[in-house]
Amino acid sequence: MPRPAFSVRRAVATDVERLADVHIQCWQETYRGILSDAFLAAADREGRLALWRHLLDRPDPAEAWVACDGDTVVGFAGIRSVPAPESPEGDPLPESGPLELWGLYLLASHQGLGVGGQLLGTALGTQAASLWVAAGNSRAIGFYRRFGFEPDGAEDTLADWEDLPEIRMVRPVQPAA
């Protein structure tokens, strides 16, 4: 059987509608069992549309990428520049750099096929970076570990997300392949 035609490209304004839908579906798949069914059912499509329009429908669009199966968007990743993270003790962590992966989501139907790694590699390359991940999402934590990320001890709680605990993971510059 031929391998599906997966690709990763920069997100563009015409992706907004599909990104909003994929974002919500990914949340519902990813956080089932971590957040309540009521919370997940209340995911606001209009809010996701507004976010993606803000990110992409402007002269200087955000750094975001989409993973596609043929012509169908099945996931996304986004990065931004942030101050270099500090350790929980307040010491700078310059090895993790100023890039933050603010989101990487892939439909469950496309996980385990190498698409997530392709998406992460396109978004970050070998650059040092940090990210926040739900503390209870062991699958995502394992995925990020395979790409050089490790928890650095920083923790936070997302009050608007039913007090969801999250941890920060960081990685230094990665060796070239």
Domains of the chain: 6-171 (3.40.630.30)
In which residue are the tokens 């997530």 written?
A: 116
Q: Which pLDDT score, from 0 to 100, does residue 95 have?
A: 66
pTM for this model (two decimals): 0.89
What is the residue-averaged pLDDT of the chain? 91
Q: What is the mean pLDDT of residues 68-78?
A: 95
Residues whose CB is less than 8 angstroms from the CB of residue 105 and which lie 6 or more positions away in sequence, other chains included? 22, 23, 26, 27, 30, 75, 76, 77
Cβ-contact 92, 28 below 8 angstroms:
no
